[in-house]
Structure 1
């Protein structure tokens, strides 16, 4: 008869009637343990009122033709032409890419490094350039290399760079 007081104690618990009125519980997986339901019931949570989500305005696409020239000019205020010290990085799987601008140092660097850049399959990010004509002139210097205008400030911050031209590979940065 030791179990009778336990049974009476369980039946007199204040949450038991609420448990009987609760919606059916759907068990996804049971790894044993003790139910957390009493803890939630002790919070006396009210059912959620229907709250409509705020209306999110979708941005409208720009009117007219959108092409590469629409992205110009590109200005990266954290980057300028200058000397870059060689250093190692560990970025396994990072494809080779390089940063250049529309300046004399970048043009000379591109002419000198073009064979190596092609060999690596490196992609060029032009981080400072004013016009489509300037971009075409840079591309004419290094046929077969892909050059894309891209703002480089975020990349410069992440890599700790202040200058370009620079080649970035999975193992290091070099000029």
Structure 2
């Protein structure tokens, strides 16, 4: 994500080295929250020129989604296209591991990373999800 956010970007929620894995270690990532974003409709919003220039350097599309009903319907409706284009997704809002499981059931093969997208939301000027981010801009 550094190419999108610039040279000074560092993940704010980066896990410390040596953090335990497995079920106990996975549980401490919840809840996942991105306060700058909420479920909603993108409309005709497109990135500013500076952001659009950074997007052209994307190696593959990615999406930001939550565990809400709008995101789940969007994921189910766009699953084939997301798989075909090789998109990866970030789950940016989830309260529990059960929410993650539900999203993974809908994703069925789409790579999913649970993490806050606060930095991305700020740098891309995004306030709603679900959203697909490609070299050409944003789309829902």
Q: Report the TM-score, using the length of structure 2 for normalisation.
A: 0.75
Aligned with residue 32 of structure 2, among 74, 82, 94? 74
Secondary structure of the equivalent of 1:85?
Answer: coil
Structure 1 counterpart of 2:88: 123
From the two aligned structures, give the one with the greater helix fraction: 2
Contact 1:72 1:149 in 2 (8 A): no
Contact 2:132 2:139 in 1 (8 A): yes
The change in CA–CA distance for 1:63 and 1:108 in structure 2 (over 3 A counts) is closer
Contact 1:97 1:123 in 2 (8 A): yes
The change in CA–CA distance for 1:137 and 1:63 in structure 2 (over 3 A counts) is closer
Detail structure 1 runs of 4+ shifted over 4 Å in the superposition.
59-66
Structure 2 counterpart of 1:113: 78
CA distance in 2, matches of 1:137, 1:124: 14
- Residue 62 of structure 2 is aligned to residue 92 of structure 1: no
Task: Compute the RMSD of aligned alpha carbons.
Answer: 2.1
For residues 133-165 of structure 1, the C-alpha deviation after alignment (integer angstroms, 9 at most, x for no partner) is 110111111211011111011110100111100
Structure 1 portions without partners, runs of 5+: 1-58
- Residue 111 of structure 2 is aligned to residue 146 of structure 1: yes
Structure 2 portions without partners, runs of 5+: 1-15
- Residue 41 of structure 2 is aligned to residue 83 of structure 1: yes
Higher relative contact order (CA closer than 8 Å, sequence separation 6+) = 2
CA distance in 2, matches of 1:60, 1:145: 27
For residues 13-48 of structure 1, the C-alpha deviation after alignment (integer angstroms, 9 at most, x for no partner) is xxxxxxxxxxxxxxxxxxxxxxxxxxxxxxxxxxxx
Instruction: State the shift of 1:93 in Å.
Output: 2.9
Q: Which moved more, 1:79-88 or 1:125-134?
A: 79-88
